[in-house]
Homo-oligomer: A and B are copies of this chain.
Amino acid sequence: MVMRRESAKVRFPFVPHHGTVQEILNDHGLASLGDAYTNLIYSLYLSVRKGKPAGAKADSHTLSNALRQSGLRSLMNSRVDRHDQADAAEALLAYAWLSGLTTITRSVSILAKHDNVQEAFALLLSDAMEKLGSD
């Protein structure tokens, strides 16, 4: 699975260029940064839904389920555990943002359309894949 990133405006010089989705899903440094990114968009989702500022950590179980629901789980080795799957989801969400393929406002808008958090993240992961233009 290869990707295009020609039209994107990369936000920071440190952002690695990955040629495949698998490379993104298995990038642990990206997952670590992605954890912070995902917690912010999840907190913004909660804030929009509640109509006032709120903050919380996105649950690993929810994220790993969202990865399965989006169909992306099948791109990973069958032995990876739930924690690695949540990391993969966080890495992909951060990569799409860092690569300039989406914005925080847009991502939160996509999430906020859904009551169900798992479904919301599954759709955001699918959106990231579309933006990455995998084929």
Contacts and interface: CB of A to CB of B under 8 A. Distances in A.
Given A14-B47, A14-B52, A16-B53, A36 B39 contact: yes
A3 B27 CA distance: 43
A123 interface: no
Interface in A3-61: 11-16, 27, 29-37, 39-40, 42-44, 47-48, 50-56
A94 interface: yes
Of the candidates A11, A14, A94, A104, the one having the most CB atoms from chain B within 10 angstroms of its own CB is A14
A108 interface: yes
A33 B55 contact: yes
Nearest to A41: B36
A39 B94 CA distance: 14
A108 B14 CA distance: 12
Which residue, of A11, A12, A27, has the highest number of chain B Cβ atoms within 10 A?
A12
